[in-house]
Amino acid sequence: MVKSKNLQELNICIVTFPLLSCSGSYYTIINNFLRILSPLVNEIFLITGNFSDNIGFDSKIKVLDIDISPQKEGNIFYKTINQIIIQIKISLHLIRIRKRFDGPIFMLSGTLLLPTITAKFLRKTSILTAVASDSTNIRMIYKTAPFYKRYYYYLSDRILELLTFNAATYIGVESPHVALFMDLPLTKVIGNGHLFFIGGNFRQIHNLANRPYRIGYIGRLSREKGVFNFVTALPDITLRSPDLCVTITGDGLLYSEIKTFLEQNALDKLVDFLGWIPHDYLPNYLNQLRLLVLPSYTEGLPNIMLEAMSCGTPVLATPVGAIPDIIIDGKTGFIMENNSPECIAENVIRALNFPDLEQIAENGRRFVEENFSFEKTMENWKGILQNIE
């Protein structure tokens, strides 16, 4: 239970699985969360592994490291044992520091069952941060995995996730639509606690009318992102709009497959297939696009959508995760019914020919500016902390 409503006297705890690397989206999420909560509370205990503080946090952050053994790729038995050991180590840390914090424990994963049960045993409030892409990725893996692995994924991830949801005191979601998308128990859902805020150079440099006639995809080259659906829609799109250029950036398992498709369909001269680019370079690329296409099967709250909108770039996306809470078709962006190549092609042409495209770009930019500034994000989390019972 939270004993004090004076947040400056509050000590809280954040729990995550060990990081695979000191980069990537998961590392960014943790750093953002620490940036948001650090000014609000007295002290934060971070239980994780492989965490490297390279952004200069003060003494408010106490990192409790989890030693982990290297993963053996593809060994299901070893992975299961390793996950159990990690959760035991996290739980032991919670028991050791139980008297040093009176605030909630934030679980930054939907499958931290043992630590969540431990929090319940210690009579601590636990807040599970639910990300829509996590849940749906589990279902996609289950459907596409080899038969002998399907039951492992179902038992170890999906059922584990449901049990963890049930054990948590509260479930924090990035936006209202995420709760519906994930079919969460609404009685446990609290707040609008996204972990993203606009910063750095993500701003409009070039007006939409002055940009090249170019669309693009920026993101991971993997099945759940629907990027290959976008690629297979390109022959139809470029046939209907011959002057259009395309940019695809990112890396992932589909890189070679996409490259081969572009070459076989004589698209390699129309498409700039750039591979991975550093995050700091993204504003320059976003400011060269008239439309960003996100044909995902699953999303939480995609950073690239918000970054594009902040740069005055309209976004065309599927209505998954938090996207319908951000994009209103014809007002702040464009929504396509599904991510079939036919639907993608039809909606790309619709968006490019939309008469008020510049106004949509401006509406989207203002929406992000008003709702995803650092100050607004911190205010949201302050309200969540103050309303926890």
Query: Which alpha helices (DSSP H) does 97-207 contain, by range?
Result: 113-121, 132-144, 147-153, 160-167, 176-181
Residue 280 or residue 197, greater confidence: 280
**Measuring CA to CA, how many Å separate 293 from each of 219, 227, 279, 324, 345?**
10, 9, 18, 15, 10
> How does residue 4 score in pLDDT terms, banded at 50, 70 and 90?
very low
Burial of 173 (0-12, 13-18, 19+ CB in 10 A): buried
Query: What average pLDDT score do residues 344-349 get?
Result: 98
Domains for the chain: give ranges and CATH numbers.
7-197+373-387 (3.40.50.2000), 208-371 (3.40.50.2000)
Residue type, 97: I
Residue 324 has pLDDT above 90, yes or no: yes
C-alpha 294/C-alpha 115 separation (Å) is 35
Count CA within 13 A, CB hemisphere, residue 377.
20
Query: Which pLDDT score is estimated for 82?
Result: 86
Asked whether the beta carbons of 42 and 11 are under 8 A apart, the reply is: yes
Enumerate residues 6+ apart whose C-beta is below 8 A from 99: none
Query: What average pLDDT score do residues 103-128 get?
Result: 92
> How does residue 362 score in pLDDT terms, banded at 50, 70 and 90?
very high
Asked whether the beta carbons of 35 and 381 are under 8 A apart, the reply is: no
Residue 248 or residue 82, greater confidence: 248
C-alpha 332/C-alpha 312 separation (Å) is 10
Enumerate residues 6+ apart whose C-beta is below 8 A from 18: 48, 49, 50, 66, 68, 86
